Amino acid sequence: MTTFPRSPRLLKGGIVLVNPGTGNVQRIISLQYNPETLTRTLQAKTLGEGSDRSQALRLTGPPVESYKLEAEIDAADQLEFPDQNATVRQHGIAPQLAALETILYPTSGDLLTNNSLAAAGTLEIAPTEAPLMLFVWSQNRVLPVRLTDFSVTEEAFDPNLNPIRAKVSLGLRVLSVNDLGFDHRGGNLYMTYQQKLENLASLSTRGSFGDLGITGV
Query: Is residue 155 one of the residues assigned to a domain?
Result: yes
Q: What is the pTM of this model?
A: 0.85
Distance (Å, whole) CA 35 – CA 169 = 10
Query: Is residue 64 one of the residues assigned to a domain?
Result: yes
Query: Is residue 8 one of the residues assigned to a domain?
Result: no
pLDDT mean across residues, the chain: 89
Task: Report pLDDT digits (tens) over 55-71.
Answer: 778 888 999 999 999 99
Q: How many domains does the chain have?
A: 1
Q: In the beta sheet, which residues pair with residue 77?
A: none
Higher pLDDT, 80 or 211: 211
Q: Tell me, what's the pLDDT at 146?
A: 96
- pLDDT at residue 82 above 70? no
Which residue range forms the structural domain that includes residue 187? 14-44+60-108+127-196
| Contact between residue 59 and residue 176 where contact means Cβ atoms under 8 Å apart | no
Higher pLDDT, 169 or 10: 169
Sort 107 into a burial class: Cβ within 10 Å, 0-12 / 13-18 / 19+: exposed
Q: Tell me, what's the pLDDT at 13?
A: 95
